[in-house]
Chain A
Amino acid sequence: MDWTALWLSLRLSTITILLLLPIGITCGRLLAYRDFRGKGFVEAIVALPLVLPPTVVGYYLLVSFGASSPLGQVWQNIFDHSLVFSFEGLLFASIIFNLPFAIQPMQRGFESIPADIRDAAACCGMSPWTVLTKVELPLAWPGILTAMVLSFAHTLGEFGIVLMVGGSIPGETRTIAISIYDRVQAFDNAAAAQMSALLLVLSLVVIALVFTLSRRAGQSYN
């Protein structure tokens, strides 16, 4: 049982969803409330990681912040280590490949709030921030929670992109999914079986959570 890898995976997933929370809320709200030219294009871009093979996403991520890219070099200069093959690199990648999982459910959540209610809140004298915290977030909460849970689960299980962008560096980028792969190659089936079972149970719990939440969201407040 590779506890380091498990801890790494949990850390990666948790920090990812913490960072995706404000990003998802901002983008989800924007897409839910505003209609603008090119909106369909933006939604397609957001959905891209869903349909692209992970290797394609991984390839473009490597191009974007590999050692020879401008971003990679800036990073190297500031932090004295490369962005790829580092935990931070995984974090960047994780945020990008989780965008559809974070934004889409949140967008649906905000879309489900009738425009009248937001107008009514403004007419009640609530400032835009108060409307967000007292009215929008409570009503969109099931969507937001679904987004967080899905992103968490997806990050926990992501393999191809993590391998391409992070390598398999123990303690730094070897997530539990990669550790399983590594154990199989080392003919260590016992460890692989143990970790796979753990991930299976975790995934089941997550799916159950998502289903319960969506049902709650469907019931709304009737």
Chain B
Amino acid sequence: MNGLRLNLSQELPIPLDVDFDCAAGEVLALVGPSGSGKTTILRAIAGTYKPEHGFVSVGGKVWLDAAADLFIPSHNRSVGMVFQSYALFPHMNALENVAAALGHLPRDERNQRALELLDRVNLTGLEKRRPGSLSGGQQQRIAVARALARDPAVLLLDEPFSAVDRATRQRLYREIADLHSSLSMPVVLVTHDLDEAMMLADRVAIVHRGSLLQIGVPSDVVLKPVSAGVARLLDMRNIFNARVVEHDQEHQITYLDWHGLKLEAGLNLKSPCGDDVSWVVPDGYVVLHRRDRPSRGEHENPVPGTIGSLVAIGQVAQLTLIPDHEPSLPIHFSIPFHVASRNGIDVGVEAVVSLLAEGIHTMHLQVDMEE
């Protein structure tokens, strides 16, 4: 078993309650708001934090077993960690920083190996430079090289892109993606940016207040959040309550009553008829009926209303539609800005949107969802 097996629980001083695996070669993203405990989990894997109860094993070696009073300190764990602040040694140059993690190699091999690693992250030529004289992106790459230098059994990345500007970040995403294919160890990446997680990770784990709420492949997590709370954490805004009317097993449809409007959703037998549920539809599954280009999807769950707000962000217009049948529950969606202008979409204009059935996902009822 080459991967990471982890189980942590504690109440104070930081509440923790997580249990997950990460296979060799897999990238697992821990996503959650600031203070949700993601970094603490990472530190528990690295060994710089000792939780009250827990179990951590990597590649078959047990690093932490609180029940057996076993705790292997960081310097005896084969772990590579990229810190949010990079934590490069300011008094050493790039080469020395990477070589610092090569203590397991004989002295004469260290320089050579360090050069190889710097080359792998495209930093040849900058070996003699101190971190203070390098850009954020370059520092980050030294940090990655240093983390890989140990030939770690697990690679940990703590918000590695948060301090970097957008253009550099795009470039680094591509580089990490390249690196990913050549990595044979489990990789745990902590981020508060869901889009980043979606882009880089094989699986995504939603962490909130130290608890693991949901874990799965990105598309599953986004389309099928396990609760309204998770949906909120995922920054989904179309979260509403409805009543289950009928299950049509033959056509694989569940009918919902949303404040008088009848909706067709994918079949979900978990909630019996007559029950109240919460439901969510991602922004991308809300389709505007276009006057210039009508489409077949317009027959699915049409919701007539008026445009409540329009915010142009770059080339995208983010809109809300105030449904006629329930004006207190706006629906959020977005369209390319040129479409908005070409269709005369603006605040106050009447419009209709379709909620695509496959995007509507029902969850356990959360009563205060619509407040």
Write the residues of chain A forming the contact surface with B, with a CB cutoff of 8 angstroms.
114, 116-117, 119-128, 130-131, 134-135, 138-139, 220-222
Contact = CB atoms under 8 A, between A and B. Distances in A.
B363 interface: no
Chain B contact residues, majority secondary structure: loop
Interface residues of B, number: 30
A42 B98 CA distance: 39
B75 A117 contact: no
A114 B85 contact: yes
B47 A139 contact: no
Contacts of B74: 119, 122-123
Nearest to A116: B87
A124 B103 contact: yes
A131 B73 CA distance: 13
Contacts of A130: 103
A114 B150 CA distance: 22
Given A116-B83, A124-B150, A127-B75, A220 B48 contact: no
A120 B144 CA distance: 12
Contacts, number: 74
Contacts of B77: 123
B75 A128 contact: yes
A54 B355 CA distance: 83
B61 to A, nearest CB: 15
B251 interface: no
Most buried by B among A119, A139, A222: A119
Contacts of A138: 91
A126 B80 CA distance: 12
A134 B103 CA distance: 12
Instruction: Enumerate the 10 nearest inter-chain pairs by beta-carbon distance, A residue then B residue, closest first.
Output: A221-B90, A122-B74, A120-B87, A124-B101, A116-B87, A119-B48, A123-B81, A222-B132, A122-B75, A117-B87
Contacts of A135: 89
Contacts of A123: 46-48, 74-75, 77, 79-81, 101, 147, 150
Contacts of A139: 89-91
Nearest to A113: B90
Given A121-B100, A122-B73, A125-B150, 18 more contacts: A114-B87, A117-B87, A119-B74, A120-B88, A122-B47, A122-B74, A122-B75, A123-B74, A123-B75, A123-B147, A124-B103, A124-B146, A125-B104, A126-B75, A127-B75, A130-B103, A138-B91, A139-B90
Most buried by B among A123, A125, A131, A135: A123
B98 to A, nearest CB: 9
A167 to B, nearest CB: 47
Interface string B184-206: 00000000000000000000000
B130 interface: yes
Given A119-B43, A221-B132, A125 B101 contact: yes
A124 B91 contact: no
Given A114-B87, A135-B89, A138-B91, A122 B48 contact: yes
Contacts of A125: 75, 101, 103-104, 150
Most buried by A among B74, B83, B103, B147: B74
Interface of B: 43, 46-48, 73-75, 77, 79-81, 83-85, 87-91, 100-101, 103-104, 130-132, 146-147, 149-150
A120 B83 CA distance: 8
Nearest to B48: A119
B91 A126 contact: no
Contacts of B79: 123
15 contacts: A114-B87, A117-B88, A120-B81, A122-B47, A122-B75, A123-B47, A123-B48, A123-B75, A123-B147, A124-B75, A126-B75, A135-B89, A138-B91, A139-B89, A221-B91
A126 to B, nearest CB: 6
A117 B89 contact: yes
B89 A121 contact: yes
A15 to B, nearest CB: 30
A222 B84 CA distance: 19
Nearest to B99: A124
Contacts of B75: 122-128, 131
A120 B80 CA distance: 9
Most buried by A among B88, B100, B146: B100
A119 to B, nearest CB: 4
Nearest to B104: A125
A103 to B, nearest CB: 23
A56 B90 CA distance: 44
A123 B87 CA distance: 11
Contacts of B80: 123
A125 B148 CA distance: 12
A138 B83 CA distance: 21
A123 B72 CA distance: 12
Contact of A119 (B87, B131, B146): B87
